[in-house]
Homo-oligomer: A and B are copies of this chain.
Amino acid sequence: MKTNISLEEALEQLLAYSHPTEVEMCPLNDALGRILGEDLTAQENIPPFDRSPYDGFAFRAADTATATKEHPVTIEVIEEIPAGHAPQHKIRAGQGAKILTGAAIPEGADLVVPFEKTVSKENYVTVFHGGKSGENIVPAGEDIRKGTVFAQKGLSISPPMIGLMASLGFANIPVYRKPRIAVFSSGDELMDVSEQLAPGKIRNSNSYTLMGYIKEIGAEPIMLGLARDRVEDIADLMRQGLAQADMVISTGGVSVGDYDVVKDAYPLIGAETLYWKVKMKPGSPTAAAVKDGKILLGLSGNPASAMVIFQLLGMPSIKKMAGQQNYLHEKLEVALKQNFHKQSSSRRFLRGRLTFNGGKLFLDISGEQGNGVLSSMVGSNLLADIPAGSGPLDSGQKLSAYLIQS
């Protein structure tokens, strides 16, 4: 077991055990936000045929090449092609077809002239201005070309991607199974949301916050409840979690005191401890272990500390298990909007919100930064990385920051 390791080393250890789940089929209607499990190749063009973007007339560009206002050209209209109807005739020299928006260009035609630029009478249309071959024709495959990979394995399926899949006839989509993440909180002081507070007690918030984050990134939380500060209690919930889930997250019991027994529970259930304590603030008291290839992640009981570590270590691991291609947080350069008056003897992650002003990026600090201040996470979507040994920072100071789920 390593102790006092860097955040980067801790993450590397966790990612080594974070394996994408298996691929399953999902109906298109339920695919929003799921992670694509295979590259998808277009079996057709979109659009499937050359089509007209306007209501107008289709004919051969060569036939009207000489048309002018003074010397217009008149063409015989041999059919009308509404959208959704296949053209019935080939267009030959001197012939054309009335064509509606979205309809397929008939064979032989290579130009569309919109209605409003023509004069038509019975079966004839007069054109005052020709055009180049291909003008006003949307070519087959303009949007997606047959044979191309239009959706890559590991992407999160967005609304327009669902539209493309529908266009291409994908009614069922291969996606990664949602990883199941079991969650429990330990601490004799904890009560559940529906209970009346007793003296000395507080209500469990960590399991609820974690459940929210886990759902938000498209995984499936399993709430195991509360454990007392006894190693057997904690080991029991860990075993329950491992039986049902791909990963088990606990909060509390990872500090240095007599009641911090999560570390003792790991060997008790036969798990190998990976590390204990990470060199950063907040969230330093944290541990991880692995059992049968499954990660057990132990977070601080302090709400803000727990959530900062969860964002930096838990999220990338779960996203990788969920099959996401981009499982690491995006790193940005931001400028501090306010002064930050504290010294940072250890490396510190500052909670804040990304704001924009005049084309530039700013970090708006989320008020109080205490380990227990969960309200500082509300609306926060940045964690700025302040190096160890930094003094107070002035507004305008450039910092590197991770963009997190808010």
Given contacts A257-B101, A360-B359, contact A193 B215 (CB under 8 A): no
Residue of B nearest to A159 (CB): B212
Residues of B within 8 A of A124 (CB): none
Q: Is A222 an interface residue (CB 8 A)?
A: no
B372 touches A204 (CB 8 A): no
Selected from B29, B87, B190, the residue in CB contact (under 8 A) with A211 is: B29
A188 touches B359 (CB 8 A): no
Cα–Cα distance between A335 and B359 once the two chains are bound (Å):
7
Q: Is A200 an interface residue (CB 8 A)?
A: yes
A257 touches B378 (CB 8 A): no
B32 touches A212 (CB 8 A): yes
Selected from B104, B171, B204, B258, the residue in CB contact (under 8 A) with A193 is: B171
Cα–Cα distance between A84 and B379 once the two chains are bound (Å):
30
B202 touches A46 (CB 8 A): yes
Q: Is A208 an interface residue (CB 8 A)?
A: yes
Residue of B nearest to A197 (CB): B48
CB distance from A374 to the nearest CB of B (A): 5
Within 8 A of B (CB), among A158-175: 158-171
Residue of B nearest to A359 (CB): B333
Cα–Cα distance between A160 and B197 once the two chains are bound (Å):
20
Q: Is A216 an interface residue (CB 8 A)?
A: yes
B100 touches A258 (CB 8 A): yes
Cα–Cα distance between A257 and B333 once the two chains are bound (Å):
51
Q: Is A37 an interface residue (CB 8 A)?
A: no
Q: How many positions in chain A have a CB within 8 Å of any CB in the partner chain? A: 102
Total copies of this chain within the assembly: 2
Given contacts A28-B208, A200-B49, contact A334 B359 (CB under 8 A): yes
Residues of B within 8 A of A327 (CB): none
Within 8 A of B (CB), among A203-227: 203-213, 215-216
A216 touches B144 (CB 8 A): no
Residues of B within 8 A of A44 (CB): 197
Cα–Cα distance between A172 and B198 once the two chains are bound (Å):
21
Cα–Cα distance between A48 and B168 once the two chains are bound (Å):
57
Cα–Cα distance between A195 and B168 once the two chains are bound (Å):
10
Given contacts A101-B255, A171-B194, A205-B167, contact A162 B212 (CB under 8 A): yes
A162 touches B379 (CB 8 A): no
B158 touches A215 (CB 8 A): no
A83 touches B259 (CB 8 A): yes
Q: Is A392 an interface residue (CB 8 A)?
A: no
Selected from B188, B190, B198, B359, the residue in CB contact (under 8 A) with A361 is: B359
- A141-154 contact mask (Cβ, 8 Å, vs B): 1 or 0: 01110000010000
Cα–Cα distance between A142 and B374 once the two chains are bound (Å):
10
Given contacts A203-B169, A257-B101, A359-B361, contact A162 B208 (CB under 8 A): yes
Cα–Cα distance between A83 and B228 once the two chains are bound (Å):
11
A143 touches B372 (CB 8 A): yes
Cα–Cα distance between A368 and B258 once the two chains are bound (Å):
63
Cα–Cα distance between A160 and B370 once the two chains are bound (Å):
15
Given contacts A47-B372, A163-B208, contact A229 B83 (CB under 8 A): yes
A-B residue pairs in contact (CB < 8 Å), sample of 16: A48-B202, A49-B199, A83-B188, A84-B187, A159-B213, A160-B209, A160-B380, A162-B211, A163-B374, A164-B374, A166-B193, A166-B209, A167-B303, A167-B374, A333-B358, A360-B360
- A contact set with B: CB distance below 8 Å: 28-29, 32-33, 44, 46-49, 53, 55, 81-87, 100-104, 138, 142-144, 150, 158-171, 187-190, 193-195, 197-213, 215-216, 229, 255-259, 301-303, 307, 330, 332-335, 356, 358-361, 368, 370-375, 377-380, 398, 405-406
- Besides the contacts A142-B370, A163-B209, A166-B193, what 6 more A-B pairs have beta carbons closer than 8 Å? A83-B188, A86-B198, A100-B257, A100-B259, A162-B208, A162-B209
